[in-house]
């Protein structure tokens, strides 16, 4: 695999408008800055449409919801669609409560997303597949995650990334697996949420036809940065968060191929 978009993110410094949850806002902004993007956090209904006139990508993350935020997400998502700006959905805990189910369904029917990034439970819910999630965590299930990614991508006509021990990415046709990462990732909150923001940053620097490759590279760089950061850390989760931010800033495209655990299947089922 050729890494070509990471340097573009660093050169272009895309402005990523993050409508994200209160748990991860600071970590997400720091992660985007480390990577070389420019975070802008706002959920004010009064200004979110305007932001789409100068931003390069929009992230909508439903981690901690309230009515004003949902109104703002709908305004921002529609404005981004009008401006042709990529929009990423992180459907945090999508199936966990009736309110989240209703909001997720409204966002998906009124906004055309470019990519959706969630854990297994969240994307299984979107694909209408049985899975035992636990609040905002992935929980347990038996279903085929590659198929879940493909089904959701077909249903919502966008790229879907299911993150976890193995990431499964699909454009509705191809399924790509990335087996890099570290078990320390799920020990820090917001590692999935920041991944959604990083995907948005990569989408903010590519042409539409490169969207799948951009999402694959975003998830790969992210997982490798975590894997490298975790070397020699064993269970030190606090140090991992810091080392991971450092790696997002330091990781370079050279010398990554040796570490890569990437698998593409090209079936058109
Ligand atoms: N057991 C694991 N081994 C290796 N990498 C993992 C593991 N679990 C998650 N990851 C990686 O962690 C990152 C975050 O994915 P995860 O699925 O944990 O997000 P999430 O559950 O939405 O997190 P959060 O809601 O806290 O933001 C991804 O890059 C994923 O590849
Ligand atoms: C812990 C938590 N609760 C709501 S959002 C969030 C951040 C990780 O998804
Ligand atoms: Mg999550």
Radius of gyration over every alpha carbon of the chain, rounded to an integer in angstroms: 17
**pLDDT higher than 80, residue 266:** no
Q: Strands, DSSP E only, in the chain? A: 15-19, 38-41, 57-61, 87-90, 115-119, 132-134, 137-140, 159-163, 167-170, 175-178, 262-265
DSSP labels for 237-252?
HHHHHHHHHHHHHH--
| Separation CA 130–CA 235 (nearest Å) | 32
- Ligand 2 mean position to 173 CA, how many Å? 31
Q: 244 CB less than 6 Å from ligand 1?
A: no
Average pLDDT over residues 255-269: 71
Q: At what angle do helices 237-250 and 211-230 cross, to 10 degrees?
A: 130
Q: Among the residues of 43-188, which ranges form H helices?
A: 48-51, 67-83, 98-110, 120-126, 145-156
pLDDT-wise least confident of 6-20, 106-120, 131-145, 186-200: 131-145
Instruction: Give residue for tokens 């979107």.
Output: 126
| Separation CA 141–CA 154 (nearest Å) | 21
- pLDDT of 151 reads 98
- pLDDT of 269 reads 39
**pLDDT higher than 90, residue 251:** yes
Average pLDDT over residues 68-78: 98
- Ligand 3 mean position to 4 CA, how many Å? 27
Residue 2: band (very low, low, confident or very high) from pLDDT cuts 50, 70, 90: confident
Q: 240 CB less than 6 Å from ligand 1?
A: no
- Give the N- to C-terminal CA distance of the chain in Å, as an integer: 24
Q: 138 CB less than 6 Å from ligand 1?
A: yes
For the record, the structure tokens of 164 come out as 């976890």
Average pLDDT over residues 34-56: 98
- pLDDT of 87 reads 98
Give percent above pLDDT 90 in the chain.
Answer: 87
Give percent above pLDDT 70 in the chain.
Answer: 98
Which of 133, 134, 189, 192 maximizes ligand 2 atoms within 8 Å of its Cβ, making it the mutation to test the pocket? Answer: 189
Residues in the chain: 269
| Structural domain spans, the chain | 5-265
Cα–Cα nearest to 138, from 191, 181, 98: 191
Ligand 2: residues within 6 Å at CB?
Answer: 21, 23-24, 63-64, 92, 136, 189-190, 193
Secondary structure of residue 207 in the 3-state scheme: coil
Cα–Cα nearest to 129, from 88, 160, 173: 160
- Contact in structure between 74 and 111 (CB atoms under 8 Å): yes
| Separation CA 235–CA 182 (nearest Å) | 11
Could you read off the pLDDT of 92-141 as tens digits, one per residue?
Answer: 999 999 999 999 999 999 999 999 999 999 999 999 998 988 999 888 88
Residue 143: band (very low, low, confident or very high) from pLDDT cuts 50, 70, 90: confident
- Ligand 1 mean position to 74 CA, how many Å? 27
12 known ligand binder: no
Which architecture, in CATH terms, is 5-265? 3-Layer(aba) Sandwich (3.40)
- Contact in structure between 211 and 203 (CB atoms under 8 Å): yes
Provide the CA 129 distance to its chain's centre, in angstroms. 20
> pTM of the full predicted structure?
0.97
Cα–Cα nearest to 5, from 34, 36, 28: 36
Q: Across the chain, what does the average pLDDT equal?
A: 95
For the record, the structure tokens of 223 come out as 């997982």
Which of 185, 219, 244 maximizes ligand 1 atoms within 8 Å of its Cβ, making it the mutation to test the pocket? Answer: 185
Q: Which residues are CB-neighbours of 141 under 8 A, at least 6 positions away?
A: 120, 121, 124, 129, 130, 131, 132
**pLDDT higher than 90, residue 263:** no
Average pLDDT over residues 184-202: 98
1 known ligand binder: no
Ligand nearest to the backbone CA of 135: 2
- Ligand 3 mean position to 136 CA, how many Å? 6
Q: Which helix (H) or strand (E) holds 90?
A: strand 87-90
Nearest CA to ligand 2 atom 8: 190
Nearest CA to ligand 1 atom 15: 192
């Amino acid at each position: 695999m050729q890494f070509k978009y990471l340097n573009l993110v660093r050169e272009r410094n895309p402005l990523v408008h993050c409508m994200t949850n209160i748990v991860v806002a600071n970590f997400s902004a720091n992660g985007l800055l480390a990577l070389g993007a420019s975070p802008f956090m706002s959920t004010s209904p009064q200004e979110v449409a305007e932001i789409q006139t100068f931003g390069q990508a929009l992230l909508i993350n439903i981690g901690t919801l309230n009515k004003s935020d949902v109104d703002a997400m709908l305004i921002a998502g529609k404005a981004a669609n009008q401006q042709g700006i990529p929009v990423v959905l992180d459907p945090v805990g999508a199936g966990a409560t009736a309110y989240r189910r209703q909001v997720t369904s409204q966002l998906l029917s009124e906004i055309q997303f470019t990519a959706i990034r969630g854990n297994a439970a969240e994307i299984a819910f979107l694909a209408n597949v049985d899975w035992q999630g636990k609040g905002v965590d992935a929980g347990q299930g038996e279903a085929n995650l590659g198929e879940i990614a493909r089904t959701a991508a077909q249903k919502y006509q966008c790229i879907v990334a299911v993150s976890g021990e193995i990431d499964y990415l699909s454009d509705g046709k191809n399924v790509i697996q990335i087996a890099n990462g570290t078990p320390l990732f799920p020990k820090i909150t917001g590692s999935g949420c920041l991944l959604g923001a990083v995907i948005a940053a990569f989408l903010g620097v590519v042409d539409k036809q490169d969207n799948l490759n951009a999402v694959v590279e975003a998830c790969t760089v992210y997982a490798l940065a975590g894997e490298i950061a975790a070397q020699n850390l064993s269970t030190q989760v606090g140090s991992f968060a810091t080392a991971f931010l450092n790696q997002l800033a330091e990781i370079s495209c050279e010398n990554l191929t040796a570490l890569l655990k990437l698998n593409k299947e090209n079936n058109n089922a």
